[in-house]
Amino acid sequence: MFTKQTVRDIELKGKKVLLRADYNVPLENGKITDDYRIKQSLPTIHYLLDHGAAVIICSHLGRPSGPKDTQYSLFPVAKKLHQLLNRQVEFATDCVGAPADKAAKNLKPGQVLLLENLRFHPEEKADFDQFAAELASLADIFVQDGFGVVHRAHASTDAITRHLPSVAGLLLEKEVDAITSVMEKPERPLAAIVGGAKIADKIDILNRCIDMADFVAIGGAMANTFLAAKGVDIGDSLYDKADLQVARSIVKKAAAEAKKRRFIFAIPYDGVVVNKIDKNTPTRIVDWGTHVVADIENYPRRVPKRAGQVLSDEMIVDIGPFSGSFIAGCIQLANTVIWNGAMGITETDSLQGPIGPYAHGTELIIEALLGDFGHKPYTLVGGGDTVGYIENRKLVECFDHVSTGGGASLELMAGRKLPGVEALLDKKRVK
């Protein structure tokens, strides 16, 4: 249960509300290519407007070098908000100073104002108190609804709460409730599918999933590091040499867990390999002969060289059909699935229609998660790249919960406290 006060717990009528949203959306030639995060903020905005507030929205976008880095202006977001809300959205050319002060002063209940990019000011990321005080001077109440940023202690997530009564928005409440309930009280069996590039980015969630899940499957480039640690020749595949020992420790932890209870830790058995990432380059499937359930009893074990090995100029770009089928089969036995990270390279979708040539393993997992093979578990999807992929495939509505936060969802899944949530007012206890 969410323990912080929300917009439902505070008087809003006639108040000016500073709403922290996460509008860090992708842009191409000044146009928004994915408005999922903007749409997810609408319920909170509507709630505030319906309860008589004037809404001042602040956000960041990208990593601008300064206020003259206009490619990161939030003006396109203001135009998109105007379309989605079907009402006028004012835009201030700065988030503090005269432009912001004037626009906020003139704002009436029922009106919406979007401030320019917070990160045009280095004081935002530095959690500078004076900068937060300037932001706070624009409003009477602060509402935190940017789940994607609450794992950072920035001026608009931390320092701001020292200057205004601070509560959560509806999106933040939904995100925290959904993720914590799955991580603390899942309907079992629980499966976790973890992909992505670097083990270092996922080590905490991997360790927690080993502790609590019934099945953990590894995919993506991080699987290459596990394979290399196991002695599989991965050719020219991307992997992290610095994480080889980490991979060994994770597998040993999984082995210890498997001795205590029914638990499966799966690394890929086969993979799709190429010698060049290009739509015209032929792919082939390689079975490197390891057990799908890692051979943890005799770990690490050298795998004999064989004709089917990955060649020195080849790289693994996706899990193979056997590995994908094994994971899909395990999903059929699960009632709850946590998915974070693609199984292969999905960023090349523009090479070959809506599905990239190295995304078939990921697609097989998606089919299993959506119930195409008969059973549809409750699915929690997190991680920026994973969410971006299913957004591109127009499948967001098909999953039970798709998180708007990349790093924040990982931190919460790993069991860490989120500074931007901890700083909010606690719910009043009923005696």
Q: Which helix (H) or strand (E) holds 340?
A: strand 336-340
Active site residue 284: no
Q: What is the DSSP letter of 4?
A: B
Indicate which residue of 79, 125, 198, 393 is catalytic.
198
Q: Which helix (H) or strand (E) holds 425?
A: none
Indicate which residue of 271, 384, 388, 405 is catalytic.
384
> By three-state DSSP, how is residue 72 classified?
helix
Q: What is the DSSP letter of 84?
A: H
Alpha-carbon gap, residue 91 to 56, rounded angstroms: 10
Residues 191 and 330 sit within 8 Å (Cβ to Cβ): yes
Q: Percent helix, strand and coil across the chain, each rounded to 5?
A: 40, 15, 45
Alpha-carbon gap, residue 172 to 167, rounded angstroms: 10
Residues 238 and 221 sit within 8 Å (Cβ to Cβ): yes
Widest CA span in the chain: 74
Indicate which residue of 15, 37, 80, 376 is catalytic.
37
Active site residue 198: yes
Order the strands of the 264-266 sheet from edge to edge: 264-266, 215-218, 190-194, 336-340, 378-382, 401-402
Closest CA to 217 of 271, 287, 265: 265
Active site residue 384: yes
Radius of gyration for the chain, computed over Cα atoms and rounded to the nearest angstrom: 23
Residues 319 and 271 sit within 8 Å (Cβ to Cβ): yes
Active site residue 169: no
Alpha-carbon gap, residue 240 to 117, rounded angstroms: 35
Angle at 297 between CA 292 and CA 301, to 5 degrees: 75
Tokens standing for 205?
């969630």
* Strand ranges, E, within 112-229: 112-114, 141-144, 166-168, 190-194, 215-218
Q: Which residues are catalytic?
A: 37, 198, 384, 407
